[in-house]
Amino acid sequence: MSYLRDSGRLIDFAVAHRTISGGPFDFEGHEYLKGLYLEEEPVVVVRKAAQMGASEYGITRALFFAVRYGGRVIYYFPTDHDVTEFSQDRFRPALKDSPYLSALMRDTDTTGLKKIGRGSIYFRGTTSRTRMKSVPADFLIFDEVDEMIPENLELARKRLGHSAFGHELYLSTPTLPGYGIDQIYEESDQRHYLLRCPGCSRWHCLEDEFLQAHGSPRDVREEIVFVKGRPGYETLICTRCGHALDPGTGAWAARHPGRRSHGYSISKFASTALSAKERALGAHTKPAALLAQWKRTRFPAEFFNSELGLPYLAAEGGLSEHELLGLVGDYPLMASGRGCVMGVDQGSGLHIVIKEPTDDDYLLTVYVHHEPLTDERFTYLDHLMGDFDVRACVIDALPNTHAARAFARRFSGRVYLSYYNAGKGRAAFSFDPENTPVVSVNRTEAFDAWRDGYKQGLRRIPRVEGPVGEYVRQMTNILRAVREDPTTGAKRAVWIKRGPDHYAHADSYAELAHKRTRTRYATATILG
Ligand SMILES: [Zn+2]
């Protein structure tokens, strides 16, 4: 026991001091986890299916770090509610189950902070930016990255500051390709769990084989090519020689060896542990349970994310660079215009898009600009209102509502502060209590309309020079996805950011402003 305690390896610490569901810690049914417990790199990324032992791994890493290095760990969750639940239901039992760890506990035992040995472990939600700024750290753990706001993740990383350790651990079930955990995994050395066929010696990456055979949304989902056998007892087989494959004897292989961060992709095909629910549904093996789930699921996104640990993009996505470049016209960025509309996004300064309507219903982007530094009244915007003869401008109301309102006051009746709402229906133009014109719009519907304008070919973009390249890039950084509620099965469309997307918001605001001018014009026609 004392030898294990002093070996200085995570895996020995886990075996000596951790339990699994009250029993001894071992890797049975979860052999793929061994690679993670032997990991010694400072930055580790785990893109995983649901319930693969990743949070237990996070707990073990946190405890080990606090005890061995006396460092400060911050364990991040999407919300404060998740913090309370995790701290009480998962972390406290981990301490209670081990006399060694219990003895190391010091004075403080609160939901948000555990002091153990010379180290400490903080639990934090990622919704409050102010609370996230509070403590410096040596080791950051992010649990369920895809449920976190990307900017807040960036803010949290600053907590590492000048730590001599600078350890990071990212855990999450993926959602969209190139977003959240998938993006972080893509930048890693991309390890896959490979199974070697004892019959023909060929190595198999089952996720790849699944994608090749069943990656099409039109797949009828009646079979999985490498799952065969008596119903309820199916096993994994080699698609070349038919020999059975054993997930217990797999090996991790990196696609990009030598990269700084180590990434692990974990699907349920790596596991042989059956849940009580899977047993109740008549499965006697893990592959049988997965095949049943695959046949049963109405929407493949949930299967890809939660069972395969792979990202999935449903339906049509957003606007592609190819589509946008197809709309580039033979004109440069302009310095002035006539009867224009303007959209302004706040956040890292101001992102501005000005569009000019044509008589034949086209809308030309004529001006694109990023102003990094602004004053408290947004006076930078003033000259544009005149130079481009701006009839309507929609500006992001947040975060600096005060400045946006000051700008709106200077151009009475032409500037609208925009707020996103969760309701249904069209954009609603009205006034706020201070009598400033405002527009309230459903985010999904605003971006759907924005995308449709481009899809219909009724938009033009200036020659790609200066800021236009960045403008196009940012407009492809927002993606439409259909999310399925795992319990009710209800589907909901959302636009998700996968990188800087300020210009996409500014562009969509300009579209809203255009809609406003057209409504007014129509009214005038009827009245006249
Ligand atoms: Zn084989």
* DSSP string over 149-208: -HHHHHHHHGGGTT-SS-EEEEEE---STTSTHHHHHHTS--EEEEEE-TTT--EE-HHH
The arithmetic mean of pLDDT across residues 371-394, rounded, is: 95
Across the chain, mean pLDDT equals 89
Question: Measured in Å, how far apart are the chain's first and last C-alpha atoms?
Answer: 91
Q: How far is the CA of 203 from the centre of ligand 1 (A)?
A: 8
Give the fold, CATH level 3, of 1-30+51-172.
Rossmann fold (3.40.50)
Q: How far is the CA of 47 from the centre of ligand 1 (A)?
A: 27
User: 321-527: what CATH class?
Assistant: alpha beta
Q: How far is the CA of 308 from the centre of ligand 1 (A)?
A: 22
1-30+51-172 and 321-527 in the same fold: no
pLDDT of residue 521 exceeding 90 = no
Q: How far is the CA of 237 from the centre of ligand 1 (A)?
A: 8
In angstroms, the CA 100 to CA 91 distance is: 15
Span of 226-230, 300-304, 350-354 with lowest mean pLDDT: 300-304
pLDDT of residue 3 exceeding 70 = no
pLDDT of residue 248 exceeding 80 = yes
Q: How far is the CA of 415 from the centre of ligand 1 (A)?
A: 68
- 122: burial class by Cβ within 10 Å (0-12, 13-18, 19+)? buried
Q: Which pLDDT score, from 0 to 100, does residue 314 have? A: 61
Q: How far is the CA of 212 from the centre of ligand 1 (A)?
A: 18
The arithmetic mean of pLDDT across residues 415-431, rounded, is: 85
Q: 287: closest CA among 332, 228, 370, 363?
A: 228
Q: How far is the CA of 245 from the centre of ligand 1 (A)?
A: 8
For strand 459-460 and strand 363-371, is the pairing parallel, antiparallel, or unpaired? parallel
Give the start-to-end residue ranges of the domains of the chain: 1-30+51-172, 321-527
Question: What would you report as the CA-atom Rg of the chain, rounded to the nearest whole angstrom?
Answer: 27
What is the H or E stretch that residue 209 is in? helix 206-214
Phi/psi for 355 (5° steps) reads: -125, 145
CA 405 to chain centre: 32
Q: Over the stretch 358-376, which tens digit does the pLDDT of each residue have?
A: 988 899 999 999 999 889 9
The arithmetic mean of pLDDT across residues 324-340, rounded, is: 96
Q: Over the stretch 13-67, which tens digit does the pLDDT of each residue have?
A: 999 999 887 788 999 999 999 999 999 999 999 999 999 999 999 999 999 999 9
In angstroms, the CA 416 to CA 437 distance is: 5
Q: Which pLDDT score, from 0 to 100, does residue 526 have? A: 41
